[in-house]
Structure 1
Amino acid sequence: MDADEDLPEALAGAVAEFARHLAAERNRSEHTVRAYTGDVASLMTHLTRLGRTEVGQLDLAALRSWLAGQSTRGRSRATLARRASAARVFTAWAHRTGLLGEDVGSVLATPKARRTLPEVLRAGEAATLMDAAADDASDGDPVNLRDHALLELLYATGIRVGELVGLDVDDLDEGRRVVRVLGKGSKERTVPYGVPAAEALDAWLRTGRPALSTPAAGPALFVGVRGRRLDQRTARTVVHRRLRAVSGAPDLGPHGLRHTAATHLLEGGADLRSVQELLGHASLGTTQIYTHVSVERLRKAYQQAHPRA
């Protein structure tokens, strides 16, 4: 919310019911529920400032003035696009449940977000990162074994950090070298990984995990130093810390390794549809950004190397 003022009971109740709808019926992630609920609460606050106390009083003009106000406060295009999306989901839900006489958000335009190309590691930088982690793991220290396996699996599969820490031991099929991943919207996919990741995982499971794990870890594949399931913050810290030791490498987190995996797959000849499936993207358009990354890298290499560039 952009304001601390309390919402009228009817509006506050609608926000709460909408949050339950997102979580229970649409199976959205906790992060999405929190973001969309905050956006809709902001919209309801705006409606209150207009002197309206019921969802049924929401109209297209109010939606547009709300977004315009967000823009004047300096919200980014990406934020405005997400808030417009949240508003459309809300008005569609409110119309279906009878809170709105018509779906006034269906014609709300989405501000186009400027798409920046993600930073990725070069192949040599990725190799240096993995080699350094392997060297550290050779001492048999459980944390070093875990970090090596974590880095190899992130780079090999391109899975999200939330997907990584949610993995259980049984999600690995070591014989086929694939991992079962539960992605956004509880959609399950199977992602292959290579020999280096398999070897790192084997060492972690044989030696590292038994040394760190406690009953509180349950079936978790990756475990923290306190013996519980590894959390996302620790996983991010591992990636940032390890990358700082790679000369010239950008400061990337786990999502940077995801971008790197996708880019290297495409540069190696993988087709776009296969990469889309591996990454768990709902839209091919989301995956296509990595073709732009590859073209941009090629353009820079050309400019540096060609005498007529």
Structure 2
Amino acid sequence: MSPSDALAQFKSYIQLEKNYSEHTVREYESDLLYFFGFLQSEGINNLHDVEYIHARLYVTKLYDESLSRTSISRKISAIRSFFKFCNREFGLKEEAFRSLYHPKKEERLPHFFYEEELQQIFQATEGEDHMSLRNRAILELLYATGIRVSELTSLEEFDIDKQLGILRVMGKGRKERYVPFGQFAQDALEHFMDEARPKLMKQSKHNFVFTNMRGQPLTPRGVRYILSDLVKKASLHTKIYPHMLRHTFATHLLNNGADLRTVQELLGHSHLSSTQVYTHVTKEHLRKTYMNAHPRA
């Protein structure tokens, strides 16, 4: 069986039956093509010839390339899913990767903004021009809801209930959830949609809420650029990545008394363990506050 034929059928399966997002499908394809390249370099052209020793050699190669443990774990998961599919559909042996252990994840705490830092970034969006109104709406909504950037750029007009202050969000694995947002986000969103968006949309026709300055749908890369530019304007000596606002949303909620289950539901996490990392962040926040504030610390 040729790897390319099996990959084409696997892609159809995860797109149509598993409802994986385009981004996830691209990642799976990229991971598998990289693995196929390794097999070719080992002189293996048939998937039936893959053994446990090849799996071990491949993982060793990934470590030699200094990839993070998270990246290696993701690649193993993609290959396992592929072999499981091929086992069910074509009787391919799947033991080679099933026997591998996932590398232990690095214990890294999520980075987040303190409220003072966030206020400086909000100040960088001040202005009544189209760009400022759009950027403020993006920042307010990301912080108010904790949604992922891919979820933000996928938002359409009918996903927003302005009366109830609720977003309908399509998350990972095409899972739908509803997320509330507050008055600050509502005001910024309405201001953008009433004043700036109609003028930006003169040359375009689509239902996506956020656009670039030419009226085309905004991309996740575009949002990353916008946020980096705001951090520069705010003169903060830090790097920003979009997930920092998601981390900030969760951390601030927990610091102010929200329970873990509620935060899990708002973030759209399938497992509570994914949300529990934020309890470590809040404990670290308490420790730093204590060390800075107590006279005998």
Q: How far 1:215 sits from its partner (Å)?
A: 5.6
Contact 1:118 1:256 in 2 (8 A): yes
Q: Distance in 2 between matches of 1:211 and 1:236?
A: 23
Query: For residues 103-122 of structure 1, what are the structure 2 equivalents within 5 Å?
Result: 103-122=95-114
Q: Distance in 1 between matches of 2:33 and 2:24?
A: 14
Q: How far 1:44 sits from its partner (Å)?
A: 2.6
2:200 paired with 1:231? no
2:77 alignment partner, SS class: helix
Q: Distance in 2 between matches of 1:102 and 1:208?
A: 54
- 1:54-104 deviations in Å (ceiling 9; x for gaps): 212222222122111221232221221111111211111111112414544
Contact 1:156 1:261 in 2 (8 A): yes
Contact 1:147 1:238 in 2 (8 A): yes
Q: How far 1:127 sits from its partner (Å)?
A: 2.6
Q: Distance in 2 between matches of 1:249 and 1:198?
A: 29
1:213 alignment partner, SS class: helix
Which amino acid is 1:300 matched to? Answer: K
Contact 1:84 1:109 in 2 (8 A): no
Q: Distance in 2 between matches of 1:223 and 1:273?
A: 33
How large is the RMSD of aligned CA atoms in angstroms?
1.9
Q: Where in structure 2 are there 5+ consecutive unaligned residues?
A: none
Residue in 2 that maps onto 1:278: 266
Residue in 1 that maps onto 2:243: 255
Which amino acid is 2:184 matched to? Answer: P
2:45 paired with 1:53? yes
Residue in 2 that maps onto 1:303: 291
Query: For residues 172-251 of structure 1, what are the structure 2 equivalents within 5 Å?
Result: 172-214=160-202, 216-248=204-236, 250-251=238-239
Q: How far 1:156 sits from its partner (Å)?
A: 0.2
Q: Distance in 1 between matches of 2:58 and 2:219?
A: 36
Q: Distance in 2 between matches of 1:39 and 1:218?
A: 33
Which amino acid is 2:60 matched to? Answer: A
Are residues 55 and 121 of structure 1, via their aligned partners in 2, closer, same or farther at CA, if it must alter by over 3 Å?
same
Q: Distance in 2 between matches of 1:250 and 1:297?
A: 18
Aligned residue among 255, 258, 266 for 1:267: 255
Query: For residues 13-24 of structure 1, what are the structure 2 equivalents within 5 Å?
Result: 13-24=5-16
Give the count of matched residue pairs: 297
**Which shows bigger deviation, 35-44 or 255-264?**
35-44
Q: Distance in 2 between matches of 1:82 and 1:102?
A: 17
2:189 alignment partner, SS class: helix
Which amino acid is 2:159 matched to? Answer: D
Q: Distance in 2 between matches of 1:244 and 1:180?
A: 32
Aligned residue among 89, 95, 113 for 2:81: 89
